[in-house]
């Protein structure tokens, strides 16, 4: 789904160029002197992110994912039909989806049975007739089997993670293709609908709003509708035994909180502060970008991290107040404004961590200034290995280390000191407003900060983002 600033058009051009270099010259189909004639070529098999070179694809722009499936935790068996609606951004004689899931029994494009091959996470589809630029096409993929986890460069797990009562489903940065054929890049957002059928007594919790819940013959079907554009890595449809609390915030935003009964007591404080966090961040960052809020607190201790799944952050164990604030802050920074490339991860983690620092101060805890200066942050010795990773390009091993989080948040605090309260507040709000439901890169942030402050910040960002070592003056 392409939103403001014609980013999609620029990307499509890039994809065409990339495809041109990868593919044998079937440009013979181009008709010189007949510019209106279709020029069919394969969509690029990658979006070109060096951290995850297989991720994403070119040649089309997904508008909507509809996944209808059943899952039985006893056998871990999934039976699924995914319907993907996409817009061709070039004349396509072939395109790829990212998919590591179970065996495919059938695939159609616009209702016609279609040939496909699989190679690693690449699902290569050859649609006939071929979609032309600007045409919408529908891909239906039927698959069944046992989906599983994906291991990341830093050794952490994501994807489809079976638990003792269901499945914990997370996808940052590359787990969603474990269970959904998709264009797995934050630069192609789409709306999502999940229809999940699970054994009676279990709850399937997805992004967005619950449209219906019906029990029949020992199975309950949940329909979840995520109505704003979402990056694939933020999708979840987590299954388990949950205590569910539905409410409406004073602002009118509905909230759906699902907690594993084992974690209710320990998470109560964090959950009770969601309304206050939403109000605080709305005041600081601008309007909340989504139609609903909530949380999923599940017991999956083998995961060991939380994730800002869109509208409902997910926790793999008891939720703390600090982590809840972090994940709620991500709804603006990370979810509505997503990173263009994974090297821009500080734009997610630095902002969410800074939001957490701000909420802590607001809530009567340490001031942001004290947190900046603490021994986990600026107080670290200059000799610490902490300072030896480049914030603007930390590498896939350090995407979720304390570099993007803590050095990222420190960068924002230093910027605040440099540009002053008013400009800083405008920068935060503008960042969320300009790139709402889209993606952006570090260079976009630098331009915005310079524009709003009226300062040349080259030396400032050089020290904080583009140089290793502990900044000493800026």
| Residue 452 binds ligand ARG, judged by CB under 6 A | no
Our finding on whether 307 is near ligand ARG (CB under 6 A) is yes
* 184 is a site residue for ligand ARG (CB under 6 A): no
In this structure, the number of other CB atoms found within 10 A of the CB of residue 287 comes to 13
Among the residue ranges 34-42, 180-188, 301-309, 431-439, the one whose residues contact ligand ARG (CB under 6 A)? 301-309
- Establish if 352 lies at the interface with Zn ion (CB under 5 A): yes
Asked if 172 is part of the footprint of ligand ARG (rule: CB under 6 A), the reply reads yes
Which of 116, 354, 400, 464 binds ligand ARG (CB under 6 A)? It is: 400
- Which residues inside 311-330 make contact with ligand ARG, applying CB under 6 A? 326-327
Helix (H) or strand (E) holding 116, with range, is strand 115-119
Residue from the set 41, 55, 94, 156 that interacts with ligand ARG by CB under 6 A? 156
* Residue 82 · residue 67 · CB < 8 Å: yes
CA angle 80, 85, 89 (to 5 degrees): 140
Q: Quick one: CA dihedral 455, 459, 462, 468, positive or negative?
A: negative
CA of 403: how far to CAs of 236, 388, 406, in Å? 26, 9, 6
Helices then strands, counting H and E runs in the chain, come out as 11, 23
If one asks whether residue 344 binds ligand ARG (CB under 6 A), the answer comes out as no
Single out the segment in contact with ligand ARG by CB under 6 A; choices: 108-116, 245-253, 302-310, 429-437: 302-310
Q: Which residue, among 62, 66, 72, has the nearest Cα to 96 in the 3D structure?
A: 62
Helices (H), 48-105: none
Q: How far is the CB of 325 from ligand ARG (least distance, A)?
A: 11
> Residue 51 interacts with ligand ARG (CB under 6 A)?
no
Length of the chain: 474
**Of residues 260, 255, 70, 263, the one with CA closest to residue 168:** 260
Is the Cβ of residue 203 or residue 356 nearer to ligand ARG in the bound state? 356
H or E stretch covering 444: helix 442-453
Q: Which of ligand ARG, Zn ion, none sits in contact with 156, Cβ below 5 to 8 A by type?
A: ligand ARG
Binding segment (CB under 5 A) for Zn ion, from list 125-133, 213-221, 348-356, 378-386: 348-356
Q: Which does 400 bind (CB under 5 to 8 A by kind): ligand ARG, Zn ion, none?
A: ligand ARG
Lookup result for tokens 């690029």: 44
Q: Give yes or no for residue 345 binding Zn ion (CB under 5 A).
A: no
- When the beta carbons of 162 and 408 are compared against Zn ion, the nearer one is 408
């Amino acid at each position: 789904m392409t939103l403001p600033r014609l980013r999609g058009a620029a990307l499509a051009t890039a994809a065409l160029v990339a495809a041109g270099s990868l593919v044998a010259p079937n440009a013979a189909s181009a008709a010189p002197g007949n510019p209106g004639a279709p020029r069919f070529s394969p969509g690029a098999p990658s979006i070109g992110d060096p951290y995850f070179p297989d991720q994403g694809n070119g040649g089309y722009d997904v508008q909507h994912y509809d996944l209808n499936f059943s899952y039985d935790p006893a056998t871990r068996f999934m039976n699924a039909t995914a319907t993907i609606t996409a817009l061709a951004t070039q004349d396509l004689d072939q395109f790829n989806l990212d998919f590591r899931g179970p065996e495919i029994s059938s695939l159609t494009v616009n209702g016609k049975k279609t040939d496909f091959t699989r190679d690693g996470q690449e699902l290569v589809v050859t649609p006939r007739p071929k979609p032309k630029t600007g045409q919408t096409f529908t891909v239906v993929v039927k698959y069944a089997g046992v989906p599983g986890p994906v291991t990341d460069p830093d050794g952490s797990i994501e994807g489809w993670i079976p638990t003792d009562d269901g499945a914990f489903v997370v996808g940052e940065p590359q787990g969603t293709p474990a269970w959904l054929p998709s264009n797995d890049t934050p630069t192609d957002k789409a709306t999502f609908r999940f229809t999940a059928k699970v054994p009676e007594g279990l709850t399937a919790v997805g992004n967005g709003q619950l449209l219906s819940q019906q029990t029949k013959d020992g199975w309950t079907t949940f329909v979840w509708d995520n109505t704003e554009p979402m990056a694939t890595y933020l999708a979840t449809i987590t299954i388990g035994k949950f205590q569910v609390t539905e409410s409406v915030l004073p602002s009118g935003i509905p909230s759906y909180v699902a907690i594993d009964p084992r974690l209710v007591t320990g998470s109560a404080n964090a959950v009770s502060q969601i309304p206050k966090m939403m109000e605080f961040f709305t005041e600081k960052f601008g309007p909340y970008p989504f139609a609903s809020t909530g949380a999923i607190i599940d017991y999956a201790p083998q995961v060991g991290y939380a994730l800002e799944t869109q509208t409902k952050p997910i926790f793999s164990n008891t939720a703390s107040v600090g982590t809840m604030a972090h994940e709620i802050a991500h709804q603006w920074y990370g979810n509505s404004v997503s990173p263009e490339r994974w090297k821009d991860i500080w734009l997610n983690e630095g902002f969410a961590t800074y939001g957490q620092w701000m909420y802590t101060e607001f809530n009567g805890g340490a001031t942001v200034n004290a947190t900046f200066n603490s021994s986990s942050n600026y107080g670290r010795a200059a000799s610490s290995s902490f300072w030896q990773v480049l914030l603007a390009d930390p590498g896939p091993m350090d995407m979720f280390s304390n570099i993007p989080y803590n050095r990222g948040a420190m960068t924002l605090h230093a910027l605040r000191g440099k540009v002053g309260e008013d400009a800083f507040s405008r920068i935060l709000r503008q960042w969320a407003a300009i790139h709402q439901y889209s993606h952006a890169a570090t260079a976009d942030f630098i331009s915005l900060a310079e524009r709003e402050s009226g300062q040349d910040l080259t030396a400032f960002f050089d020290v904080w983002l583009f140089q290793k070592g502990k900044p000493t003056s800026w």
